[in-house]
Amino acid sequence: MAAGNVNPFNLSDSEEEAEQRPNETVDTERSPSDGAPGPPPGNPFSPPADAEPPALLLSSNRTSPSVEGISVSAAATAAMAGGAETRVSVDVIAAQLLRDQYIITALEFHTELLEAGRELPRLRDYFSNPGNFERQSGTPPASKDQVLGPGGPLNRAGSISTLDSLDFARYSDDGNRESDERVAVLEFELRKARETIQALRANLTQAAEREVPSQERKNFKSSPEIQEPIRPLEKRALNFLVNEYLLKNEYKLSAITFSDENDDQDFELWDDVGLNIPKPPDLLQLYRNCGTALPSPRETVDVAVGVDLGELPGNYITQDPPKKPDLSQQQQTEVVQELEYQISLLNSEKQSLAEQIKKLQSEIQTLKRSVSSPPPASLDLGSQATSTPPAATSVTDPLPVPPTDNGQYLDIRGVSEPENNPEPPSAQNTPHPHPQSHGKLKSRPPVKFDQPNRKLSPAFQEALLSFCRMSSDSRLGAEVSRIADSEESVMLMLGRCLPHIVPNVLLAKREELIPLILCTACLHPEPKERDQLLHILFNLIKRPDDEQRQMILTGCVAFARHVGPTRVEAELLPQCWEQINHKYPERRLLVAESCGALAPYLPKEIRSSLVLSMLQQMLTEDKADMVREAVVKSLGIIMGYIDDPDKYSQGFELMLLSLGDPSERVVSAIHQVFIPAFAAWTTELGTLHSALIPSLLARIEKLLTHGEHGLDEHKLHMFLSALQSLIPPLFAVVLQNAPFTSRAKLHGDIPPIEVTRFPRPASPLQDVATIIGSREMLSALLLLYDYQLEHEGTTGWDSLLWVVNQLLPQLIEIVGRINVSSSTCVHEFSRFFWRLCRTFGKIFTNTKVKPQFQEILRLSEENVDATTGNGILTKATVPIYATGVLTCYNQEEDRKLLVGFLEDVMTTLSLSHAPLDSLKASFVELGANPVYHEMLLTVLWYGVVHTSALVRCTAARMFELLVKGVNETLVAQRVVPALITLSSDPEISVRISTIPAFGTIMETVTQKELLERVKMQLASFLEDPQYQDQHSLHMEIIRTFGRVGPNAEPRFRDEFVLPHLHKLALANNSQTVESKRIDIATQLFEAYSALSCCFISEELMVNHFLPGLRCLRADMEQLSPEHEVILSSMIKECEIKVENRGIGDAQGSVSIASSLVGEDAKTKFLSKMGQLTTSGAMLANVFQRKK
């Protein structure tokens, strides 16, 4: 080795000493050996032949030769032989002291060097490494090698400290001693360190015990096809490298999972792998070097830990080194290899630096040649004081240029340099070790400037330009002074600048930064910078509105399309996960919407596991309605892309959970997005008609079975609405699996689909044309569908046969179990059957649905006896069939069928004396739609002219239900004439049945003519002598007055209702039949209680209201003393109010209800009410008419 090569051990004790000895070479430090083979040239520390077996001494940051060095005396002799000017380096002396284990002497030597201000790195590193002083528990060393070896144990005091923790004042003669607490702390630290070392040694021992025996290792080597099993130490080392690779490349989720699966290993600390185990290069470096020659074992030794050569683990030696008879010669060869390797590294580094300097100088030369005016050089004012002339620049002292981001920036702060500056010789013809650094520079045409014909010195030019007051000391100045010259450098610059730009932009305009942030995040080479930019994107706006969220989502989708699923999972999903519990609902809303928008661009495993779990958590925990609504929509999108059949049950539970949400907007979203998407998936799985719909029907049946004491109408609505949303996909399945599907052709004359053919869908996803694919295809299938049903039948059509033979009978059976008095349930099932029939078409309704209902209902006038099985006519089947099936189509024959059905039901129920609840439910449901008013009046007129008085009575009572929804014109033209006709019916029961309808007209109609006609008819009932003894008629009139009086026109109430109630109360005093008297008194009590809420004039109060109350009190004194107490209180309060009124306040009115609000009156009234001992029904009716 040439003497001029770089010394890898840096043996000069200081830079000053190196400058004093510029011509000194390592040859002058060589020790002569008499008769012994000399060391190789250039190696000052090669041992003589008779040296002891060496040990390897390693310090914290540099490598020492692992051989016995020359003695101090020999070094001195060599120094004297070399001449007076040559002296031994202090580093050589320090190395010899450490090798010979003169530790105290070395410490004194180190202390003197420190006091002289000439710290020696070798001694500093040795005494700062606690591993050099640890005492190993066990037997004392048995050999000289163990005692003297630098890696062996060193006996010392129990509280000895390393040099780092040494307080020199503590040991000096004139220094102040530290307190005993300091000693206790140091001893505690020492104990903890020893415990750590013992644990590591135990770990190493355990690993060594489990090592594969040598015989098995020989078998593996002799049979290359058999792979040697992995050792525990190798496994822990590989685990550490894999985890390190995952973290460096931003695979955060994978790293977390990997760490959880290896919970017995600490991935934060390499020392956890094993004791004194050097850390190998990372996986990337191992991969790049896998094709090159393997380094020697010494090349893999970590210079931070002291180990003996024999202690190196076997897995770091890939081949057994050849055994040499002369161990000393072997060690010499290894040291030579070590030195050559270190020298080659330094040479490579030197060549790299020289090449970089050459590149930079070449760029400066190019710029200077293209400048025609004084170049804007050396604009960095802060570096002028230390700038050196260009001629002084050399290879070892490169130009002080700023970081260049892989050489892709043009720095306008470059130092001016003469054009004839020669390039360093060492940089000539040297291959660049990292050609990719400058490989992306784009070729640009040189920019030319006019050069002045001046001869100013560069220093003068530099000083002159310093007055331009251009600063690049700050971060922003540094960025401005550098101009990016490639795409990558632009991305690097944006990555540095955007975090400083975003906080200074107005919140209302920050969405303008989204394209810039996304482009930078897509193209930036650094994972950490990309993560920071995406974090800025999701935190760009504190509370983003709809438009801003749409912009961010659009950007996220564009980012996902550009980078692919792996980076979306690694970079975008963590940002969503971080904000899943953000305090602002707008940010959580952004997360929910992002999960849906990114679903098509995620790996399918993540889509059906992590994202689904995130959305499920937000659905169950988030309190904001708008967030849950977005979650449901995103879940719908997930259902459109999921392909794991095992997730069906989870999707079904999510559907039920969303349907039960208290927010209407969430329920609307489930019907618009989630259910159609979920149904599409179940269609592909083949479970729509085999699992999904039967599951909902089973839940409805369970509700009806357990709802005998009160049906949960909310849950019934929830399940039935879900079934209703499944009708379009069910019909699509029927079309797509029909026998004619293969014959459907799009070409030819295909008629358009009628606008009213299908019910209006709740969303485009429920449109049958969207599910099928196009309106043209749907039109072609519908033609074949109608033809098949009408002419060819359903043979072999499994999907339609399931609807006809299983779905419809089960639905009709469920309908028969519904309580007909529940208008909500009747309405829900009516709408369901209406949508089902409209979707499946008129032919299907007429040939498949109506026959099944008609078979159940068995309508015929002969079967008028309830014992013959017509109990079904009193169930909800009647109103649901009438309003859900017969109203689907509005043509003449359809209307005739509906009218005939209602007439038959009315006749059958009337003649069989059955309850009229089913008929009333039909009239209420149909009467809500004005389209059916004329038809219902036609049905009732049929009853008016019927020969049976029972049917006429039923018709009269049905008018009461119809009057409230019919306009006054129809009331005047159709209702009142029919009622007046019935009011003159020969049967008194028919006439009495018209009274509630007349009362309802008085309550709802405002035309004076109509009111007068009704008043005249009611007056005839009250004043005609033939009705004086009609107890039922009087009961019905009083009940009607109490019901309609508070809401009737005031003039009708004042002039008709109150006077006639007074007359009836007075007449009841003389009633001799006690049962009739108590019935009338009870009805009068309820009527007066309801009318007490109204405003009554003083005249009416004195003339009719109070007298009527007194008459009623007279009856109650004998019949019901409890009611008499309440009546007395009411009379007293009315009298007080009348007495307190002034004569001039005659036109004012008094409200009995307001008078009862006073605390005294209320207390008295409630106390009297509490004394009542009558039945609960009578008590409940006391104030039920108040409105």
Average pLDDT of the residues in 1002-1028: 82
Paired sense of beta strands 482-484 and 409-411, if any? antiparallel
Look up residue 1097 and give its DSSP letter: E
Lowest mean per-residue pLDDT among 202-211, 315-324, 1013-1022:
315-324
Range ranked top by mean pLDDT from 75-84, 212-221, 640-649: 640-649
What per-residue confidence (pLDDT) applies to 279? 81
Q: Are 884 and 923 in contact (CB under 8 A)?
A: no
What per-residue confidence (pLDDT) applies to 47? 42
User: What amino acid occupies position 321?
Assistant: P
What per-residue confidence (pLDDT) applies to 179? 60
What per-residue confidence (pLDDT) applies to 411? 43
Q: Are 95 and 62 in contact (CB under 8 A)?
A: no
What per-residue confidence (pLDDT) applies to 583? 92
Q: Are 91 and 12 in contact (CB under 8 A)?
A: yes
Instruction: State how far the Cα of 556 lies from the Cα of 762, in Å rounded to an integer.
Output: 29
pLDDT reading at 299 higher than 80: no
Q: How does residue 870 score in pLDDT terms, banded at 50, 70 and 90?
A: low
User: What amino acid occupies position 238?
Assistant: L
**Alpha carbon of residue 239 to chain centroid:** 31
Average pLDDT of the residues in 930-939: 91
Q: Are 331 and 46 in contact (CB under 8 A)?
A: no
Instruction: State how far the Cα of 515 lies from the Cα of 1046, in Å rounded to an integer.
Output: 68
pLDDT reading at 441 higher than 80: no
Tokens coding 30: 């060589």
Lowest mean per-residue pLDDT among 263-267, 434-438, 529-533, 749-753:
434-438
Q: Are 576 and 614 in contact (CB under 8 A)?
A: yes
Identify the residue with better confidence: 277 or 894: 894
State residue 808 phi and psi, 5-degree precision: -65, -50
* Burial letters 361-380, b for 16+ CB under 10 A, else e: bebbbebbeebeeebbbbbb
What kind and span of H or E run contains 482?
strand 482-484
| Residue 351: CB atoms within 10 Å | 17
Q: How does residue 453 score in pLDDT terms, banded at 50, 70 and 90?
A: confident
Burial class (CB in 10 A: 0-12, 13-18, 19+), 323: exposed
Q: How does residue 192 score in pLDDT terms, banded at 50, 70 and 90?
A: confident
Q: How does residue 1059 score in pLDDT terms, banded at 50, 70 and 90?
A: confident
User: What amino acid occupies position 514?
Assistant: I
pLDDT reading at 1169 higher than 60: no
What per-residue confidence (pLDDT) applies to 481? 60
What per-residue confidence (pLDDT) applies to 381? 34
Q: Which residues, at least 6 apart from 473, have a Cβ–Cβ distance to it below 8 Å?
A: 380, 381, 382
Average pLDDT of the residues in 848-854: 91
What per-residue confidence (pLDDT) applies to 953? 92
pLDDT reading at 24 higher than 80: no
Instruction: State how far the Cα of 524 lies from the Cα of 497, in Å rounded to an integer.
Output: 13
Instruction: State how far the Cα of 498 lies from the Cα of 538, in Å rounded to an integer.
Output: 14
Instruction: State how far the Cα of 772 lies from the Cα of 769, in Å rounded to an integer.
Output: 5
Tokens coding 960: 């009461």
Residue 210 backbone class (left: φ over 0; alpha: ψ -120 to 50; beta: rest): alpha
Average pLDDT of the residues in 878-894: 91
Identify the residue with better confidence: 780 or 150: 780
What kind and span of H or E run contains 1127?
helix 1121-1140
pLDDT reading at 876 higher than 80: yes
pLDDT reading at 852 higher than 60: yes
Range ranked top by mean pLDDT from 111-115, 309-313, 413-417, 742-746: 111-115
What per-residue confidence (pLDDT) applies to 936? 92
Q: How does residue 226 score in pLDDT terms, banded at 50, 70 and 90?
A: low
Average pLDDT of the residues in 619-634: 94
What per-residue confidence (pLDDT) applies to 370? 62
What kind and span of H or E run contains 483?
strand 482-484
pLDDT reading at 119 higher than 50: yes
**Cα–Cα distances in Å, from 360 out to 286, 335, 380, 415, 1118?**
31, 38, 17, 11, 122
What per-residue confidence (pLDDT) applies to 658? 94
Q: How does residue 348 score in pLDDT terms, banded at 50, 70 and 90?
A: confident
What per-residue confidence (pLDDT) applies to 1028? 72
pLDDT reading at 537 higher than 80: yes
User: What amino acid occupies position 411?
Assistant: D
Average pLDDT, the chain: 74
Q: What is the signed CA dihedral for 1070, 1072, 1078, 1079, rounded to 10 degrees? A: -100
pLDDT in tens, 40-83: 444 444 444 444 443 333 333 333 333 334 344 444 444 444 44
What per-residue confidence (pLDDT) applies to 479? 66
| Residue 1071: CB atoms within 10 Å | 16
Identify the residue with better confidence: 81 or 593: 593
State residue 484 phi and psi, 5-degree precision: -65, 140
What per-residue confidence (pLDDT) applies to 470? 65
Identify the residue with better confidence: 1064 or 3: 1064
pLDDT reading at 17 higher than 80: no
What per-residue confidence (pLDDT) applies to 898? 93
What per-residue confidence (pLDDT) applies to 325? 44
* Burial letters 430-446, b for 16+ CB under 10 A, else e: bebeeeebbeebeeeee
